[in-house]
C-alpha cells in the first residue's frame, strides 16, 4: 500500500522524557520516497560525537545525519550533560540541528551526566520505554529503547528498537541480550517492526543467529562498518520483521571516516 508521511512540528511529553520536534525541510527526494511509503533508517554509533581526530563536534554528526535525509535514526553512545562533552545535552542539540523529534534513555550515569541510546524521528513518538538488558560480570549496563512511532497513513504505530550490545570478547551477554530482545518482540506481536543498533557481533555469530530466529538482516551481503578508516567487519545492523512485510530498497554504509569510530549504515525500506 502507498503511504504519505507529512512533516509537522511537535512538542511531546512521552513517559516523562521530553520529545522535541522541529519542522524539517523537505525535498523532491523526500516527496518521491514518501509517496512510495519508504522509510530511510539510519543506524549510527556516534562515540559521544568525538571523532577519530579527537575533536568533539556535535554539529558535524548532525550534518552527517542530515546528508542522507533519514526518517528514523538509531543513535548509540550518546552523552547527556557529561563532563567529557562539556555539559552538552547531545540528544536535545541533535534534535535541534536535525529538526527532528528525539527520545533519549540513560543506561548508566556517567561523568556527572547520563549515557545511553537515542532515537531521532521525523514522526511523532506515541510512546517509548527503555528495557535494561542482561548484565554479566559487572559489565556496562546495556539497554534497548523501544519506540512507538505514529506514522501518518498507518492506523497502528510502528515499533522501532534501538540497542547497543556488550563489546567484550565473550559473547554470552550479547546472546542473552538477543534472546531478551526476541522475547520483547514476541510480546509485541507480528506487526511490522524495525530494529537498529551496534550489536558488537558479526553476521556469522551466535548473536545474529539468535536475532534471525525472528528478524531479517536488511542487507544480504556484508557491509563493513568498523574499523572506521578501513572497515573489515559489519557490527552495525538494521533488521526488519516480518520479512514478508518489508521490501528492502537499498542499504549502504556512509563514506565518512572521521566523525566517529563507526561508520553509519543507512537502510531504505518499504512497507509492502
Cell (9 digits) for 67: 546528508
For residue 250, being part of any structural domain is answered with: yes
For residue 32, being part of any structural domain is answered with: yes
Q: What digits encode the pLDDT tens for the residues 103-147?
A: 999 999 999 999 999 999 999 999 999 999 999 999 999 999 999
Give the span between the Cα atoms of 198 and 74, in whole angstroms. Answer: 9
Q: What digits encode the pLDDT tens for the residues 10-43?
A: 333 333 333 444 444 444 344 444 546 899 999 9
Give the span between the Cα atoms of 53 and 259, in whole angstroms. Answer: 8
| Confidence check: pLDDT of 7 > 50 | no
Give the span between the Cα atoms of 68 and 254, in whole angstroms. Answer: 9
208-221 burial, b at 16+ Cβ within 10 Å, e below that, comes to: bebbeebbbbbbee
Q: What is the mean pLDDT of residues 153-168?
A: 95
> What is the per-residue pLDDT for 34?
52
Q: What percent of the chain has pLDDT over 90?
A: 85
For residue 2, being part of any structural domain is answered with: no
User: What is the tally of structural domains in the chain?
Assistant: 1
For residue 232, being part of any structural domain is answered with: yes
> What is the per-residue pLDDT for 190?
94
- Domain of 141 in residue numbering reads as 11-271
In the chain the first and final C-alpha atoms are separated, in Å, by 6
Domain containing 254 — which CATH number? 3.60.10.10
For residue 4, being part of any structural domain is answered with: no
Neighbouring C-beta atoms of residue 242, cutoff 10 Å: 13
* pLDDT band (50, 70, 90) for residue 152: confident
For residue 191, being part of any structural domain is answered with: yes
> What is the per-residue pLDDT for 105?
98
For residue 78, being part of any structural domain is answered with: yes
| Confidence check: pLDDT of 83 > 80 | yes
For residue 3, being part of any structural domain is answered with: no
Q: What digits encode the pLDDT tens for the residues 197-210?
A: 999 999 999 999 99
| pTM of the predicted structure, to 2 decimals | 0.88
Q: What digits encode the pLDDT tens for the residues 43-73?
A: 999 999 999 999 999 999 999 999 999 999 9
Amino acid at each position: 500500500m502507498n503511504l504519505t508521511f507529512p512533516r509537522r512540528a511537535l512538542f511531546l511529553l512521552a513517559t516523562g522524557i521530553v520529545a522535541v520536534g522541529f519542522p524539517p525541510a523537505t525535498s523532491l527526494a523526500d516527496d518521491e520516497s514518501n509517496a512510495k511509503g519508504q522509510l530511510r533508517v539510519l543506524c549510527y554509533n556516534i562515540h559521544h560525537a568525538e571523532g577519530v581526530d579527537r575533536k568533539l563536534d556535535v554539529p558535524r554528526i548532525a550534518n552527517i545525519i542530515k546528508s542522507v535525509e533519514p526518517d528514523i535514526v538509531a543513535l548509540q553512545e550518546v552523552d547527556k550533560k557529561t563532563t567529557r562533552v562539556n555539559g552538552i545535552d547531545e540528544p536535545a542539540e541533535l534534535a535541534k540541528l536535525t529538526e527532528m523529534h528525539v527520545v533519549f534513555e540513560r543506561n548508566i550515569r556517567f561523568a556527572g551526566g547520563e549515557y545511553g541510546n537515542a532515537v531521532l524521528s521525523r514522526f511523532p513518538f506515541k510512546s517509548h520505554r527503555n528495557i535494561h538488558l542482561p548484565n554479566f560480570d559487572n559489565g556496562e549496563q546495556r539497554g534497548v529503547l523501544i519506540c512507538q512511532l505514529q506514522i501518518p497513513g498507518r492506523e497502528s504505530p510502528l515499533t522501532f528498537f534501538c540497542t547497543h550490545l556488550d563489546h567484550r570478547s565473550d559473547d554470552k551477554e550479547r546472546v542473552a541480550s538477543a534472546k531478551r530482545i526476541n522475547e520483547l518482540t514476541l510480546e509485541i506481536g507480528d506487526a511490522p517492526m524495525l530494529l537498529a543498533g551496534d550489536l558488537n557481533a558479526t553476521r556469522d555469530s551466535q548473536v545474529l543467529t539468535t536475532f534471525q530466529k525472528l528478524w531479517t538482516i536488511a542487507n544480504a551481503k556484508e557491509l563493513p562498518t568498523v574499523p572506521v578508516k578501513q572497515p573489515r567487519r559489519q557490527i552495525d545492523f538494521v533488521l526488519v520483521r516480518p520479512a514478508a512485510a518489508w521490501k528492502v530498497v537499498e542499504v549502504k554504509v556512509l563514506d565518512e571516516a572521521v566523525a566517529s569510530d563507526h561508520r553509519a549504515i543507512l537502510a531504505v525500506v518499504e512497507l509492502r
